[in-house]
A and B are shown apart, each in its own frame.
Chain A
């Protein structure tokens, strides 16, 4: 995919060749009325006009801090939650136009792996039954046992693990079981929602390698959602940096990490502690003030302006749009870096 096609400013229609195309995605959540605060129901705009494409076989990293909307984007893509507005097209089909039955068929091709491998498996089902469940639900015929064995082997577990129960496995193994289950229906896209955040680093490395190996063998695309910027850099081809429901910067991962143009991207990268003491102590750090503002009442104009050292009156009045920068990525800033 060329960079031009991935420009959400250009394409109201899906870019040709994209596996997944998201345009103008909005998701509002209604909050319960709080007594004593006017009693009005308030709206939280968790995702606000987000557009991106995912090409076949590529990994798009979605990074951001709490409240950035990255997880909500992942769930809207799979329509696990209903988007408020916007378009999600998968393999050229607009998901919003599909009946429940048609959506179910498309869902075979899109799967999700969750953060908590302990919560995402039924403790009363054998591992084999859990992995075969998607095949049963989707009415796939044939010998599920054989398929389960090949899936277990694919994720680095042994065939006799099929008879055991989730509690007999470590966190890393359970995450592998979750991956095997996601692979059961040969998906073209897997949303990985913080898939290694609950794992210890020595175990995390094996699971990250597994994702990379599976992708080179099977060619599926990933949306890799994570707050850990180092893991995303390691796995993603392209990366989108989100803040308060908006994409601040999107582009080739190496470009965004090496030449960030949005002040938020720059600050975020400089805040990540690197396992290199000499580098850590010599590099200049941008210290952002305060916390991420509440998504209930986001700042006017640029959402990052309240924490941005470059903010001017313009930033409060006019929301910056994603604009192509010298190294080819897009960023939404009136005063871009570099």
Chain B
């Protein structure tokens, strides 16, 4: 495999709250290779979004970020605002669940995309405008010329997300972070947007990090999957292994919770996600884990190889044996 384009090492994000420090991301390691589609899944509060907001330098100043995020040789942790501005949108872009929040309501779509182009290259206004129309066409907006003269409110939710994708890929970034990009959309529109993201990945060789809570979306488009729980990656494997031979009890629990054809009764994970202000010692999942043993209290388990996958469960190998 080629060298990673994005390399995250021991990323830690701490929010300082009135109730004390809240460590939302507790030592994340992650590699993204050029052109691949990587999934990051987890439930609310697992740290999946915060990890990448931190990588993009988009967290408020009140958050402390430690560790290392190397993007194509640039260290993003501790980088100046100016450096980050020159990297964001050029080498790495991010899109969000709500496309409206990423668009300026009082500017025409075409102008917003050309502004994005001209921020990072010496392009003439005219060239930028015509490139903006091309980009709208690439993301599947009909009559891109006319549409480029319209305002965000004249677009539907799905069309707005296409516009935001056009902006995000305007400068052919190496990495696109897509944070729940289809969560607010209807399922038939979601299918269209996933196809656009896949097309962008194939056409421009953009690596995509897809952050989602929807395991179906992951199954459809991702090649590798990272499962996060309580601020850490607890399992990492190919998409087939995640669904067919999960190694971590949390991943298995998630899959058993899903309604699927032929499943008579769902098996929820017992208990609740832990309070991140008062994490118990040892494995953060152990209070909800049917497989927990005394050793699970001793130290936070690291990701270790289990076959072709990596698992942060000390019993992973033992539990994979047929019983």
Interface residues, chain A, CB within 8 Å of chain B? 65-66, 170, 172, 200-206, 208-209, 212, 227, 229-231, 233-234, 257, 267-268, 270-278, 280-281, 285, 287-289, 291-292, 307
Contacts and interface: CB of A to CB of B under 8 A. Distances in A.
Nearest to B194: A273
Most buried by A among B44, B256, B258, B259: B259
B7 interface: no
Contact of B257 (A205, A274, A281, A288): A205
A271 B188 contact: yes
Contact of B268 (A65, A206, A271): A206
B259 A209 contact: no
Given A204-B268, A273-B219, A288-B192, 19 more contacts: A201-B43, A201-B213, A201-B254, A202-B254, A202-B269, A205-B256, A205-B258, A209-B265, A234-B259, A273-B190, A273-B191, A274-B260, A275-B215, A275-B258, A275-B260, A280-B216, A287-B191, A291-B157, A291-B186
The 5 closest A-B pairs by CB, nearest first: A273-B216, A206-B268, A205-B268, A234-B259, A205-B257
A227 B191 contact: no
A201 B43 CA distance: 8
B: contact size bracket: 35 or more
Nearest to B266: A205
Interface in B275-314: none
B51 to A, nearest CB: 18
B266 A234 contact: yes
B240 interface: yes
B255 interface: yes
A190 to B, nearest CB: 19
Contacts of A277: 219-220, 239-240, 243
Contacts of A275: 215-216, 218-219, 243, 255, 258, 260
Contacts of B190: 271, 273
B226 to A, nearest CB: 15
B43 A272 contact: no
A287 B261 CA distance: 22
A229 B240 contact: no
A291 B157 CA distance: 8
A272 B216 contact: yes
Contacts of A272: 187, 216
A201 B159 contact: no
Contacts of B255: 275
Contacts of B216: 230, 272-275, 280
Contacts of B44: 200
Contacts of B219: 273-277, 280
Given A257-B261, A271-B190, A287 B43 contact: no
A229 B156 CA distance: 23
Contacts of A268: 187-188
A277 B187 CA distance: 18
21 contacts: A200-B44, A200-B213, A200-B273, A201-B254, A201-B258, A202-B269, A209-B266, A227-B187, A229-B187, A233-B259, A234-B263, A267-B188, A268-B188, A271-B187, A273-B217, A275-B215, A277-B219, A278-B240, A280-B216, A291-B186, A292-B188
B253 interface: yes
Contacts of B154: none
